[in-house]
A and B are shown apart, each in its own frame.
Chain A
Amino acid sequence: MSVASRIATWWKAVRRPEQLSIEIEDELRFHIEAYATDLMRSGLPREEAFRRARAELGGLAAQKETCREAWGTRAWDELRSDLRYATRMLAKSPGFTAIAIGSLALGIGANTIIFTVTKAILLDKLAVPHPEELRLFAITQGDKGVVHSSWGYFDQTPDGKMLSTSFSYPVYQQLRKHNNALQDIFAFKNYGRLTATVDDKAEVVNSEMVSGNYYRALDVHPILGRPIVDTDDTAPGSSPVLLISYGYWTRRFSRSPDVIGKKIEVNSAPMTIIGVNPPDFTGVFGVQSSPDVFLPFSMQPIAAPKFGSSLLTDQNLWWVMMMGRLKPGVSAEAAQSKLDADLNGAVRATLTVGKDEEMPRLILENGSRGQNEAGGEFAKPIYVLMSLAGFVLLLACANLANLLLARASSRQREMSVRLALGAGRARILRQMLTESLLLSGAGGALGLLLGYAGRNALPHLLSSSWEPTAVDGKFDWMIFGFTAAVSIFTGLLFGLAPAWQATRTQVSSGLKDNAQTATQRKRNLTGKTLVVIQVALSMLLLVGAGLFVRTLMNLNGAHLGFRPDNILLFDLQPQQTRYPDAKGIALYHQVEEKLAAVPGVDSVTLASVPLIANNISNMYFTPDGQPENSNSKGKKKAVDFNTVGADFFKTFQIPMIAGRSFDDTDTETSRKVAIVNQQLVKQFFPNTNPIGKTFMAGDRDNPKRIEIVGICKDAKYESLRRDPPATFYVPYRQQDGAEEMNFAIHTRMQADAIVPSLRSAVASIDKDLPLQDIRTQNEQIEDTTRQERIFASLTSGFGILALILASIGIYGIMAYTVARRTNEIGIRMALGAQSGKVLRMILREASWMAVVGVIAGLGAAVAMARLIASMLFGLKPYDPLTLGCASLLLVLIAIAASWVPAWRAAHVDPIKALRHE
């Protein structure tokens, strides 16, 4: 009861203060009249009666305030007056306020943007109920493992084993049948690109293949239509249904409700759309983006055949991913050991285990974020970015603390008066902190706006320029809360030191006219320490910027071994149902010849592995007459290769060193040939001529004997960072089949100008064959360095910011020092010191601070550089050029920033300075 009335009275006092004030006045006036009337009745004259009544009641203003306070408004009133006062004080010095809020906004905004990306990549969970219950199945196996053939994602464990999340379909069925460790086991696969034809328009869509119990186990309900259920996942082809994602529904069908029941052809297999997924749902593979279509595994042999026969019955290929929800009461470890035993049984039931072969071990990984591929790859860079952004913020805080300290010293008088009038030190501290929090709050609000404006900037930079944006910058309450927390923390951090100083003012000396207090020296030390910290932080940021920029420059200037200019790339993925195996090869040949005839095309070629695309294909390679190729651990070595067209070396201008290039005599029926590069010759045929020699390549079941007919110069393979590996090239026409090929056109025309003719050339052969991922070779290469580019640009921005903040800081403190020491300088000059000497004295002080800061920063920079060594290219972490330039730059900036105050000091008029006393 009393809580309700407390809130009610407090609320009235806060909402309607004027009305309350009037009411109190009326009440007191009534009291005075009544009392005065009584006094008059007892004989006092009117004037006297009223005077006495008023006197006994006490001052009206005081009564009003006490009554108002009785309703619990003290804290609120004090806060309001503090804020009003702080606003007034800040408005009085607009320059300072602008710099302060600006630097805070930049620091907080940078942190907010990077936190947005961090959250999306490292923190966000799958959009299903209770994602923390999900466990992702994985196996580890060593070199002698029983699993040979995999399609999916791999990782290396710390003890050298291979970690994979792929299982064979029969093993999945076995594990599910015997499962009692988890609530249920469902399977999925990020199947990749399929051709979908709706209303006679063909396009490429991303797909996820799911098991019948997928939607049930995840507890995800479509917003339209029905989900895939167990009866859809029985006999192959029995239930040609699929669901589409919300994004695809919006993009392609404009959210029209009659999408349910619509016919859609997937790789020429007729299917029906039966549902639309909820907006946030992205499947279970990853959190960032959603596949467009979700179809049951039973459709795999019909709508998405791969590698020939049905993958559902293939016991050798491990490709399916599995997840399950933990059962309440059963721990993850218990479930894992039970399932490990089940896996053992399942493997023995489906594969023939060789004599020496090891069984794979099962691991249950955290599934709340899916496969988390992006997370693993980006974790380290994100941490580096967050640290750098944090440093920038610290720098801004140090700057502000210094500026506020300088301001506080000029408000000494005011503080002394307050203390003398009876203000408690806590009250003054509270008021000073209100000022700082007001600054940081304004900076934070502006920073939030910056963060919102830039929320798509980083994700945009993270995805390829020809692909739709992978990460959608979601801006939600967590980010808002993060920004608010950072603002408050910042305000307290830089506001505490000046506030503390203010309360330590000595009242008596502060009120005297010239406050030469004994604490002056100490105060300077705090300021100087702050500047040293600022310089050290700037050093860190500058060195970081230098290292990343030079890494990018090194990468861009790396010797490729081929010429990337004037080359246009695109991918073709013919439908396997229409063009299986040899038919596919014939199709490629047809397309190759047709494209060569297009005006503007200098030469055409194909490659199974586009150059510098983070794409690796390798095969076991054993030259005839040499022992089976294995490295010291007894593991068979695989060699990188590329399946290419005849004009490959001509199109990419890779010089031939010996022998011949491919030509028209290398057809499907002629002898199998290959071209190797210098590195391969060095490794496998040292000191001999390999031309004419043969080797065996391919997997154990289907090896081929191939003759070497030429040697080409080394060229980089999948990335700019790796030196050219041993590589061999084989003609595509001598392969059994190829699902997807990358075409390279050498042309001097612009992409927009020539693409339409290329499209019509391909369409004249098959109108349902779209050109995918059209880009230039240079764009492809740039795509692999986008992370380095982001880093170079961000760290340069941070570096420039650091320089600006550091110079403001140094200027600020030198100006303050000179102002405080005007007296002393005046005396020196009166005693005969030259202007030049005074100038040098001030500059020396500034450069001394800078040097100490640089040395401290050097140590930190070297330590930091060691941590990021893996991200650098072409330079050592302690690269002397970068470190030297950064140090020099900072010292010069320090001198430049202190020049104006030093000049002012040197031109102090001694008479004026002494008169000041």
Chain B
Amino acid sequence: MAPKQNDLLQGTLDMMVLKAVSLGPLHGYGVLLRIQQISGNRLEVQQGSLYPALYRLEHEGWIASEWGQSENNRRAKYYRLTAAGRRRLHTETEKWNHMADAIGAILRATPEEV
């Protein structure tokens, strides 16, 4: 069973949605699937917080939406990354990596290094 999403912060969900959408326009359900897919099925996004996140990101202008046709000819809302979103993804990724390095360094500390 993949670890539940509850522990993850709202900011990381935003980042993951941006990343998912950066790989190509997706509808909401598609974003869900893609995150699951590229995480190698290790991560499942809690569905209740998905759409609020998508709307929030659209409000900030990092993704843009338009209505289109899905694979089985149903009407669906597709999201794509905007230029501002791309920049945001970049900065967030850098911050995340920075943070991960710092915490990783702390966790790798051995008694001898102190």
What is the CB-to-nearest-CB distance from B12 to chain A, in angstroms, rounded to a whole number?
Answer: 17
| B77 near A6: Cβ-Cβ < 8 Å | no
**B55 touches which of A2, A34, A67 (Cβ 8 Å):** A67
A72: interface (CB < 8 Å): yes
B61: nearest chain-A partner, CB-CB: A5
Smallest beta-carbon distance A61→chain B, Å? 13
Note all chain B residues with C-beta closer than 8 A to A31: 27-29, 47, 51
Residue from the list A4, A30, A33, A70 in contact with B61, Cβ < 8 A: A4
Picked from B29, B47, B52, B59, the residue with its CB within 8 Å of the CB of A6 is B59
CA distance A6 to B56 in the complex (A): 10
CB distance from A785 to the nearest CB of B (A): 68
Q: For residue A753, which residues in chain B have a CB less than 8 angstroms away from its CB?
A: none
Q: B75 an interface residue at 8 Å Cβ cutoff?
A: yes
Q: Are B76 and A9 in contact (CB under 8 A)?
A: no
B55 with A1: CB separation less than 8 A: no
- Tell me whether A2 and B60 are in contact (CB under 8 A): yes
Given contacts A1-B61, A9-B58, A71-B55, contact A30 B27 (CB under 8 A): yes
Contact residues of B between 39 and 96, Cβ < 8 Å to A: 47-48, 51-52, 55-56, 58-62, 70, 74-77, 84
Say whether A2 contacts B84, CB under 8 Å. Answer: yes
Q: Which A residues are in CB contact (< 8 Å) with B61?
A: 1-2, 4-6
Bound complex: CA of A28 vs CA of B28, how far in Å? 9
Q: List 7 A-B pairs, minimum CB-CB distance, nearest first.
A: A5-B61, A70-B55, A58-B48, A34-B29, A70-B56, A67-B55, A2-B61
Contact of B84 with A63 in the complex, beta carbons under 8 Å:
no
Given A1-B84, A27-B28, A30-B76, A67 contacting B60 (CB threshold 8 A): no
Question: Which B-chain residue is minimally distant from A72 (CB atoms)?
Answer: B59
Distance A5 CA – B27 CA, assembled complex (angstroms): 20
Determine if A57 is an interface residue (Cβ-Cβ < 8 Å).
Answer: yes
On whether A23 and B77 interact (CB within 8 A), knowing A1-B84, A31-B28, A58-B48, the answer reads: yes
Task: Decide: A5 and B48 in contact? CB cutoff 8 A.
Answer: no
Contacts of B84 in A (CB 8 A): 1-2
Q: Is B75 touching A26 in the complex (CB atoms < 8 A)?
A: yes
The interface residues of chain B lying within 8 Å CB-to-CB of A58 are: 47-48
Report the bound CA distance from A34 to B84 in whole Å.
30
Does the CB pair A30–B74 fall under 8 Å?
A: yes
How far, in angstroms, from A66 to B51 measured CA to CA in the complex? 9
Contact A27 B76 (CB under 8 A): yes
Given the complex, which residues of B lie within 8 Å of A6, measured CB to CB? 59-61
Q: Is A701 an interface residue (CB 8 A)?
A: no
Q: Which residues on A sit within 8 Å (CB–CB) of B52?
A: 63, 66-67, 69-70
For A6, A33, A35, A70, the residue with the greatest tally of chain B CB atoms inside 10 Å of its CB is A70
A476 near B: Cβ within 8 Å? no
Closest to B87 in A: A1
> Contact: B74 with A33, CB < 8 Å?
yes
B56: nearest chain-A partner, CB-CB: A70
Contact flags A13-55 to B (C-beta < 8 A → 1, else 0): 0000000000110111011011100000000000000000000
Q: A30-B29, A69-B52, A70-B59 are in contact. List 10 more A-B contacts (CB 8 A).
A: A23-B77, A26-B75, A30-B70, A31-B47, A33-B74, A35-B47, A56-B47, A66-B55, A71-B55, A72-B59
> For residue B58, which residues in chain A have a CB less than 8 angstroms away from its CB?
5, 9, 71
**Chain A nearest CB: distance from B89 CB in Å?**
14
Residue of B52, B55, B74 ringed by the most chain A CB atoms within 10 A: B55
Pairs A–B under 8 Å by Cβ, sample size 28: A2-B60, A2-B61, A4-B61, A5-B59, A5-B60, A6-B59, A6-B60, A9-B58, A27-B76, A30-B28, A30-B29, A30-B74, A30-B75, A30-B76, A31-B28, A34-B29, A34-B70, A35-B29, A56-B48, A63-B51, A63-B52, A66-B51, A66-B52, A67-B51, A67-B52, A69-B52, A70-B56, A71-B55
Which among B47, B59, B70 has the highest number of chain A CB atoms within 10 Å?
B59
Nearest neighbor of A5 in chain B, beta-carbon distance: B61
Nearest-neighbor residue (CB-CB) of B53 within chain A:
A70
Please indicate the chain A residues that have their CB under 8 angstroms from the CB of B76 in the complex.
Answer: 27, 30
Residue on A nearest B57 in the bound complex, by CB? A70
List of B residues within 8 angstroms of A69 by Cβ: 52
